[in-house]
Chains A and B, each alone.
Chain A
Amino acid sequence: MTRAGWIRLALIVGALALLEAACRHGLVSRHAVIPPSRMIEGAWNAIAADETRADIWLTLQNVVLSLILSMIVGTAAGLMLHKATRFRRALDPLLASYYAVPTFVFYPLFIVLFGLNRWPLVAIGFLFAVVAVIINTLDGLARIPRAFVRTAAVMRLTRSQYALHIVLPAAAPWFFTGAKFAVAYSFIGVIAGEFVVSGAGIGHAIAFAYNSFDNRMMYGLIVLLFVLVGSVNTLLSLWERKLYARRAGR
C-alpha cells in the first residue's frame, strides 16, 4: 500500500476509535450517536433477521434491474443521438441541467403508470442513471481519434468490423465510466425513492428504524449499506485502473 493509503487507513481507524471513546464516556448523546461497536452489532442483527434480509434483497434486485435498463437504453440512445447532430445540440443544455431536477417527484406518476409494485422505484433509479450513461456514451463516441476513423475508411472496414475494432476499443473507457456512474446512481435513485416514498426495501427500513427510535438497527443498516455500496464501487474502480494500466502499457 502507498504512504497515502496507510495515512488514510490510520485516519479512519483513529476517527472510529475516537468516536467509540467519545460515545462510551458520554461526550456524545447516546440518543444521537451510538458507539461504532454497537453499529456493527446492529449490522449483524440486521443480516440475521429474515425481514431485513428480504428488504436488502429487494433493494439489490431493483438496483440491478435499473442498472441493466439504464445501460441498454442509455447506450442505444447515445448511439442514436451521436448520429443526429442537430438534435443532440438542441438537447445539450437540457442534458447539462438534468441532474438539478429531483427525479423522484414523478413517483406518483409512475405508480399510476406501473401500479403499486417494484417498477415505480426501478423507474426512479433508471431515470437517475440513464442520463449518466447517455452523456458518457456521447463523450466516448465524440473522442474517437480522427486518424482511427480515416484508417478504418482506408482499410474498407465493414460497419460491424468498424464497430468491433474501432468504436468499442476507442470508446471503452467512457463506456466504463458510464457504467460506474450507472451503478452509483442506480443505488442512489432506488434508495432515495425507498427512503422517501416507498414501503419496502433497505431505504424504507432505515427510515422505519429512525421513526421507531431503533438506533441500533438504523445505524446497523446504514453501516451495512455503506459497506455494500462502498465495496461495489471500490471493485469497479480497481477494475477500471487495471483496464487503464493495460491500455497505457500497449
Chain B
Amino acid sequence: MRAAQDADPLVTAERAERRAVPPALDTMLMIGGLVALWQVGTILLGHEALPSPVATVSKLAGIMADEDFPRHAWETARASLTALVISLVAGLAIGLALGAHRLAGEVAEPMLTALYSIPKITLYPIILLLFGLGISAKIAFGVIHGIIPVILFTMNAVRNICAVYLRSARAMRLTAAQTAGTIIVPAAVPEIVSGFRVGFALTLLGTLIGEMFASQRGIGYMLVKAMETGDTGTVMALALLLVVLATAASAALLALDRRLRRHALAS
C-alpha cells in the first residue's frame, strides 16, 4: 500500500511540502546553467545536430508565426483539454466510489496499478480500431493515461479521511451525496490536486503520443514529421515549446498543491 503511492516519482509534492519553498534565484541560476550546457553541447556537436538556444528560440518564433501553426496547436490543446476534463471528472467519481467502498477498492487497486505500469502505448492501435482515425482516438488515449493516477489518488485520499468526520456525517444523517460534497471532497482536496497534477502531465503525454502515430494534425504530428525529415531545428523548437509549457503548468499546479497542503496542516 505504502510503496505503491508515496514515492512515485511523479509525486514529489509530499517531499516538497516538508521543505521550505526553494529560493527562486537558485532555480533561475539552475535554468541558466542548463541553457549554458546546451550552448556548450551545440559547440561540441555542431549547429546541424544541436541548434543553439538562440537559434532554437528564433526558429520557434518563426514556427509560431506560421499560418498553419494555430490549427495544429488548437488541435492538440482541444484534444488534451477534453481528455483532461474527462480524466478529472470520471477519475474523481470512480475514485470516490472506490475509496468509499472498501471491498471494491481492494478489488480494483492492483488492477489499476498494473495498468499504470504497463506500456500503454501499445494499446493505441486498439484505440484507433475502436474510435477511428481522428480526434476522438487521441482524446481516448489521453484519458487512459490520465485517469488512473486521478483514481488512485482520490481513492487513497478518501480512505485516509479521519474517521471522526465520517462518524459525524452519520450522526448528522447526511445523504451519500451530501457526505461526498461537504465532507469527503473538502477533506481530500490536497491529495486530489496532486492527482490532477500527475493526470495533467500524463494526459498531455498521451495526447502527443497519439498525434505522433497515424495523425495528420497537432503538435505531435508536426514533431514526427520533422523527425522523419531530419529537421532538427524544428524538433528542438517544438521540444522547447513543450518543455516550457509542461514545466510552467506543472509548476503552477505544484504551487497550488503546496498552498493547499500548508492550509490543510494549519487548519
- A residues near B (Cβ < 8 Å) are 2-4, 7-8, 11-12, 31-33, 86-87, 89-102, 105-109, 112-113, 131-132, 135-136, 138-139, 142, 173-174, 176-178, 180-181, 184, 187-188, 191-192, 195-197, 203, 206-207, 209-210, 215, 218-219, 221-222, 225-226, 229-230, 233-234, 240, 244
**Chain A to chain B: the 8 pairs with minimum beta-carbon distance, closest first:** A90-B26, A100-B246, A97-B250, A184-B117, A210-B125, A100-B201, A132-B9, A4-B106
Interface size class of B (residues with CB under 8 A): 35 or more
Assembly CA distance A195 to B117 (angstroms): 17
Which one of B31, B205, B232 contacts A109 once the chains associate, using CB atoms below 8 Å?
B232
> B251 to chain A: closest CB distance in Å?
6
Interchain CB contact under 8 A, A207 and B107: no
Secondary structure of the B side of the interface?
A: helix
Interchain CB contact under 8 A, A210 and B114: no
Interchain CB contact under 8 A, A230 and B114: yes
B167 CB-CB contact with A under 8 Å: no
Assembly CA distance A177 to B230 (angstroms): 38
Interchain CB contact under 8 A, A4 and B107: yes
In chain A, what residue has the closest Cβ to B50? A109
Given the complex, which residues of B lie within 8 Å of A139, measured CB to CB? 7, 15
B residues 194-209 with Cβ under 8 Å of A?
A: 198, 200-202, 204-205, 208-209
In chain B, what residue has the closest Cβ to A173? B3
Interchain CB contact under 8 A, A195 and B122: yes
B29 CB-CB contact with A under 8 Å: yes
Given the complex, which residues of B lie within 8 Å of A90, measured CB to CB? 22-23, 26-27, 29-30
Interchain CB contact under 8 A, A225 and B119: yes
Q: 14 A–B contact pairs at CB < 8 A?
A: A8-B107, A91-B30, A92-B12, A97-B201, A97-B250, A101-B246, A102-B209, A109-B49, A109-B236, A138-B15, A187-B118, A188-B120, A225-B122, A244-B3
Interchain CB contact under 8 A, B242 and A86: no
In chain A, what residue has the closest Cβ to B224? A196
